[in-house]
Amino acid sequence: MSDRPAILFVCLGNICRSPLAEAALRAAAARHGIGIEADSAGTGGWHVGEAPDLRAQDIALRHGIDISGYRARQLERADFDRFSHIVALDHDNLAVLKRLRPSGARAELSLLLDHVPGRSGQPVADPYYGASEGFAATWADVTAGAEGLLAKIAGLA
Ligand code: 4NP
């Protein structure tokens, strides 16, 4: 286990929001020259082994990031000690994390937009069943969240 901050993003399917949050954090960390580990997982297991939704791949690529090699996985118990921070994309997934977190585990739990001034308590809306334009809003949300989270973790704020 390294001392670097290790951040796991968690949504429902791990094919739309959390892979985009992972990509946004990796990009922000690279921009700022900050060493972190990042990963993502779903609370549900329906899409395990799948690449991100094509609409998520497309919005990431429009911002210069190729996420086609990401593969969905389901949250597991060991994640609560592997990661220093586990960040939920919405309240339902945060509730699952709170329920599953073993007492004394390493990971600190939070909601992504709690890290964005003025947006505390807001969820990142699930774009899965909507139109592809919804993914632009998802990208904007996860980018803001990643920047805010990084600022806190790395003491930039
Ligand atoms: P995500 O979106 O949680 O942002 O990956 C979803 C993906 C799949 C499903 C729901 C949400 N699904 O019900 O299959």
Active site residues: 11, 17, 126
For residue 76, the CA-to-ligand 1 centroid distance in Å is 17
Q: Is residue 105 part of a domain?
A: yes
What residues are paired with 8 via a beta bridge? 39, 86
Q: What is the pLDDT of residue 156?
A: 61
Residues with CB under 6 A from ligand 1: 11-17, 46, 126, 128
Higher per-residue pLDDT: 97 or 157: 97
Ligand 1 pocket test target in 9, 10, 11 with most atoms within 8 Å of CB: 11
> pLDDT tens digit string along 106-137?
999 999 999 999 999 999 999 999 998 999 99
Residues listed for the chain: 157
User: Identity (one letter) of the amino acid at 21?
Assistant: A
C-alpha 127/C-alpha 39 separation (Å) is 20
pLDDT of 33 above 90: yes
CA distances from 64 to 17, 23, 60, 101 (A): 17, 10, 6, 35
Band of residue 1 on the pLDDT scale cut at 50, 70, 90? low
Interval between CA 65 and ligand 1 midpoint (Å) = 21
pLDDT in tens, 42-100: 999 999 999 999 999 999 999 999 999 999 999 999 999 999 999 999 999 999 999 99
Q: Does residue 149 sit within a domain?
A: yes
Distance from the CA of 118 to the center of ligand 1, in angstroms?
Answer: 26
Distance 43 CA to ligand 1 centre (A): 10
Among all chains, which residue has been given the structure tokens 């973790």?
Answer: 153
Ligand 1 pocket test, pick from 17, 53, 128, 135 with the greatest ligand atom count within 8 Å of Cβ, gives 128
> CA 42, 66, 148, 144 torsion: positive or negative?
negative
Planar angle of CA 140, 93, 42, nearest 5 degrees? 80
In the chain, the number of structural domains is 1
The answer to whether position 1 is within a domain reads no
Owning domain of residue 110: 6-154
Model's pTM, two decimal places?
0.97
CATH number of 115's domain:
3.40.50.2300
Q: b/e per residue, 103-112, with b = 16+ CB within 10 A?
A: eebbbeebbb
Any idea what the Cα angle at residue 7 is, between residues 157 and 74, rounded to 5°? Answer: 150
